[in-house]
Amino acid sequence: MILSEHNLGLFDRAEEAAALLRSNAAGPHDLAVVLGSGLAVVADRLTDPLAVPYAAIPHFPRTTVAGHEGKVLMGGLGGARAIVFQGRFHHYEGHDLEAVTFPVRVIERLGVKTLILTAATGGIRVDLRAGMLVVISDHLNLLGANPLRGPNDDRLGTRFPDMTEVYSRRLRATVKEEGKRIGLDLASAVYACLPGPSYETPAEIRMLRGLGADVVGMSTVPEAITARHAGIEVLALALVANSAAGVTAAAITHDEVLDAGRKAAPILARLIERVAARIAAGLG
């Protein structure tokens, strides 16, 4: 029997959601993937996929943003068993950060040890052109909030987790190696996370550039923080969907972001599949 959310803590809610997915899965998962705006085609690389709508999963929020379909897919990817979240939740939709990061809590209960995050971003650094893929090496959390704020449940992670290496060095090295094998020279980038939903002003982009940011977006960082709290290794890949405000004179639209995602998604899917194969082989 599922109790009301009012009567259940985060650990128990995550366990109930995980139990539903576990009952549908063919076995344990080697990795999880969260897909950003316009990047749903990555899920097409799965073999023998089983789909579960978010609406069927206990305690799962609902996604409201175009380009985020709202379902979990479980299947094979490069010889690994993968769970793919086709659509994510954002703080700007009105979700609190506990809801935004709830899928991370669920994969932790499923025993997943590796999380690949993807996102569409604006390019701040002038050499990062629209359509490029970058590897996130670090971040600036400028949301004004932290997903770990509030009472800490030690079953989910330590009270004060270290954030020296949020984005795994070995996974970054692996994805760069695999990128070279398919003709991609993947740059590293620092991701600045702002609350949205409005895009940034030129003055804000100048500020972010001064703070050391290379790309800017409205997601990824809360999930990465939560994953590290849970002891999950993180790889984050960002599509530069557009130049950030003021870098060029062009206006920015969500349609532009989705279009860039559709064009880059096949390459990103191939890259993630190759990383999954390395994970299945123990990164050997």
Known catalytic residues? 37, 68, 90, 92-93, 120, 218-219, 242, 254
- CA distances, 24 to each of 12, 27, 30, 74, 97 (Å): 19, 9, 16, 9, 27
Residue 30, number of CB atoms within 10 A of its CB: 20
Structure token digits, residue 194: 């702002």
Nearest to 279 by CA among 58, 93, 79, 34: 79
- DSSP three-state, residue 161: coil
By three-state DSSP, how is residue 269 classified? Answer: helix
Helical ranges in 115-253 per DSSP H: 169-181, 202-211, 221-229
The one-letter code for the residue type at 146 is: N
- Nearest-CA neighbor of 86 among 74, 101, 94? 74
Find the Cα–Cα–Cα–Cα dihedral 186, 72, 46, 267, rounded to 10°. -20
Residues 188, 185: Cα–Cα separation, whole Å:
10
Contacts of 27 (CB under 8 A, 6+ apart): 81
Q: Where are the alpha helices (DSSP H) in 39-136?
A: 97-100, 102-109
Amino acid at the residue 162: D
